[in-house]
Amino acid sequence: MKAVILEKFGGPENLKWAEIPKPTPNQGEVLVRVRFCALNHLDLWIREGIPSYKIKLPHIPGSDVSGEVAELGPGVSSIKVGDRVAVHPGRSCGTCYFCIAGKDSYCASYGIIGAQGGPGGCAEYLCVPEKYLLPLSSSVGFKEGAAYPLTFLTAWHMLMGLGNLHPNQTVLVMGAGSGVGAAAIQIAKLNKAFVIAASRSEEKLEKAKSLKADAVIHSPPQDIARQVIKITGGKMADIVFEHIGPAVFEAAIKSLAFGGKLITCGSTSGPNVQLDMRYLFSRQLQILGAKMGNLSEMREVAKLVNQGQLRPIIDKVFPLQEAAKAHQYLAEQNQFGKVLLEVA
């Protein structure tokens, strides 16, 4: 089969178009004929090399996958050849305390396909354990099927699982033009929150309004915390949805109401932040880290996507063999929503 493989860590030029053996499904697995694979900022980090991720090269990247079932492995009974599916990206041991408690993303061996969880979807075929298949309704295309799993699951886990979001609370979404930011706006609005979208791009803010964001902040030049005070009449934000890191961290903290929560799932502007501890304890704030989400949350998100209550946003589609160009495009951070690779 054809696949994009990472031969060595570094720039996009290290992504190579190659012919490799087609995988065979084992007990409890199916072989998925990949139609689309969506990119995430995680793909850029994997390509560049993350020291904490012990990835063996050559490696097939790609964490978000949609396609159709091409072959059934032994013992598979809940699905048939030809079924249209998306794929849950998370993988865990299934036997530890956290897995048994339904908190599989806390598992010590938890991984994400295309990262430290095994080969990803930048290939014509992918073997997937039966329990990680997410059926697609007739109203959801393959593009949309690949565009939602990782980002919508992450956003759902952050807002609903960790944030315990309630109606009428105020949510400030940093980096509103990203895939996870667009997902967060929709999830917050679905749960009747007041949403403030922040971005450095006026064009992205206009698109955030189309997702029913209640207010927007153009930063820079606008000061985020001052604008939050103005927009909320001094009440501030109950939850700050954050995935950027040091470029916005101080502003995110200063935008929180007493008892508010800053929930973060990334650090695209760098790994280290400065924090005035006095502000943290005097306002009784919470800082929570999020990594993906649990399988039960993934199934809840899939149900809402299939019902049309959540809508994946797609920015641009590249052919799979142009994965390097797609990586470069994503790194420029001009997209609104997801960047996809199409497997011809």
C-alpha closest to that of 58 among 120, 137, 132: 120
Dmax over CA atoms of the chain, in Å, equals 61
Q: Tell me: the pLDDT tens digits for 152-167?
A: 999 999 999 999 999 9
Arithmetic mean of pLDDT, 254-275:
94
What is the C-alpha separation between 145 and 285, in angstroms, rounded?
Answer: 36
Arithmetic mean of pLDDT, 268-289:
93
Q: What is the pTM assigned to this prediction?
A: 0.95
pLDDT for res 323: 97
Average pLDDT, the chain: 96
Bridge-based pairing state of the strands 215-218 and 194-199: parallel
pLDDT at 50 over 90: no
Beta-bridge partners for 284: none
Q: Quick one: fold of 152-289?
A: Quinone Oxidoreductase; Chain A, domain 1 (3.90.180)
Q: Tell me: the pLDDT tens digits for 81-101?
A: 999 999 999 999 999 999 999
pLDDT for res 40: 95
pLDDT at 51 over 90: no
The kind and range of the H/E element at 249 are helix 249-254
* Per-domain boundaries in the chain: 2-148+312-342, 152-289
Instruction: Kindly list the distances between the CA atom of residue 109 and the CA atoms of 58, 73, 116, 262, in Å, as whole numbers in the listed order.
Output: 21, 24, 9, 26
C-alpha closest to that of 191 among 161, 224, 231: 161
Arithmetic mean of pLDDT, 118-123:
96
- In the chain, the percentage of residues whose pLDDT exceeds 70 is 100
Non-local CB neighbours of 1 within 8 Å, separated by 6+ positions: 19, 20, 21, 22, 123, 124, 125
What is the C-alpha separation between 46 and 181, in angstroms, rounded?
Answer: 21
Non-local CB neighbours of 268 within 8 Å, separated by 6+ positions: 41, 175, 243, 244, 245, 333
Instruction: Kindly list the distances between the CA atom of residue 139 and the CA atoms of 100, 186, 243, 300, in Å, as whole numbers in the listed order.
Output: 33, 18, 31, 17
pLDDT at 57 over 90: yes
C-alpha closest to that of 330 among 55, 45, 58: 45
C-alpha closest to that of 65 among 157, 132, 154: 132
pLDDT for res 337: 92
Contact yes or no for 174/88 (Cβ under 8 A): no
**DSSP letter, residue 195:** E
C-alpha closest to that of 17 among 30, 1, 36: 1
pLDDT for res 53: 85
Establish whether domains 2-148+312-342 and 152-289 are of one fold: yes
C-alpha closest to that of 336 among 149, 209, 244, 232: 209
pLDDT at 5 over 90: yes
Query: What CATH number belongs to 2-148+312-342?
Result: 3.90.180.10
Q: CA neighbours within 13 Å on the CB side: how many for 97?
A: 1
Residue type present at position 125: Y
